[in-house]
Amino acid sequence: MESTTKNRQPVEALRAMVARAYGPDQVCDAGEDWVSELSDGCFNVAYRIRLRSGAQVVLKIAPPPDVEVMTYERGAMATELAALRLIREHTKVPVPAVDFVDQSHELCEPTTSS
């Protein structure tokens, strides 16, 4: 789904993010079929990533900070992470594992969809 909130990133940035989260030895070689966008969502952009080990993970990127969103949507990913943590800690409801969170904004260029 197309949305101005989807902060799509170039392959080089995705490779750097995978290296930061899982280590450089888990980044697949250039040209390999290791990344695909999960396109059903309408707010964040999410990519299915195959690590060199064969494991598959999801890399999720929040909207650029300058994109217009509703007030309650600001910081939505931080809210989602907090909700997952609370559910995991206080219930037996299965939730997805969160392997890594990078809030430094060092690797992710804020871009808007065209």
The more confidently predicted of residues 20 and 43 is 20
Q: Residue 114 has what pLDDT? A: 44
Task: Report the 10 Å Cβ neighbour count for 98.
Answer: 13
Ramachandran class of 12: left when φ > 0, alpha when ψ lies in -120 to 50, beta otherwise: alpha
Residue 41 burial by Cβ neighbours in a 10 Å radius (0-12, 13-18, 19+) = middle
- In this prediction the pTM is 0.82
Average pLDDT over residues 9-36: 91
User: Average pLDDT for residues 66-92, to the nearest whole number?
Assistant: 89
Is pLDDT above 60 for 50? yes
Is 35's pLDDT higher than 60?
Answer: yes
